Amino acid sequence: MAGSQFQAYNSALSTTTNVDGGTSYAAGAKVALQLGIPANGQIALVEWGVSLAAVQTTAAVLEVASTATASTVTTAHTTTTVFPAIDNYTLSNSRLTMGTGATGFGNGAITSNTTLRPVDRQQVFSAYAKIWPLEDYPRFGGSSAQYLQFRINTAATVNAIIYARWIELI
């Protein structure tokens, strides 16, 4: 499958003296990570995963779904924090739309739960990773902008690291 492969997290990148521990989520449903696919763009989701800071007594519900309506998240990603996922940093920058209303992370309220297509939903107590079989990746995008959302719903406050890896096809 031709295209550049990228990766992003639901938190800031680690710094020289610190390793970022993810984002804290209070009870309730939130958008943790959102990818803004521009009109006429297309991506294929290769894998995604979550790691919770402590094993939960009540499972957190994690969902990956596309929507036509963006949520506003607390922090915008940039072409620095969305980076090539392979060991070749000469690739071009991601073509996703960056911004708190496009590609970003944090604690975003779910603006619209009108889901275009769900691709994964799990109850997670500690960690989970989903890797689709080669060339069987779910694809997102079209003539209008779309938003791929990684949503979390918890019964109690939890710290989570969520990541996504995708191929930009167009």
CA distances from 158 to 75, 150, 154 (A): 18, 15, 7
Query: d(Cα 76, Cα 70) in Å, to the nearest integer?
Result: 13
Which residue do the tokens 């990603």 mark?
77
The pTM (predicted TM-score) of the whole model is 0.93
Query: d(Cα 8, Cα 35) in Å, to the nearest integer?
Result: 9
CA distances from 59 to 50, 80, 158 (A): 13, 33, 11
DSSP assignment letter at 123? E
At residue 92, the pLDDT reads 81
Query: Across-strand partners of 61?
Result: 123, 153
- Contact between 35 and 8 under an 8 Å Cβ cutoff? The reply is yes
At residue 30, the pLDDT reads 96
Which residue do the tokens 């990818």 mark?
35
Query: Across-strand partners of 50?
Result: 128, 162
At residue 1, the pLDDT reads 60
At residue 72, the pLDDT reads 95
Token pair recorded at residue 51: 């790691």
- With residues binned 3-state (H G I as helix, E B as strand, rest as coil), the percentages for the chain, rounded to 5, are 0, 55, 45
Query: d(Cα 13, Cα 127) in Å, to the nearest integer?
Result: 20
At residue 86, the pLDDT reads 76
At residue 114, the pLDDT reads 77
Query: d(Cα 113, Cα 95) in Å, to the nearest integer?
Result: 25
At residue 164, the pLDDT reads 98
For the chain, 170 residues long, give each residue's pLDDT as a single digit of tens.
Answer: 667 899 999 998 887 778 888 999 999 999 999 999 999 999 999 999 999 998 889 999 999 999 999 999 999 999 889 988 876 555 688 999 999 999 999 999 998 777 888 999 999 999 999 999 988 999 999 999 999 999 999 999 999 999 999 999 97
Q: Is 124 exposed, middle or buried (0-12, 13-18, 19+ CB in 10 A)?
A: buried
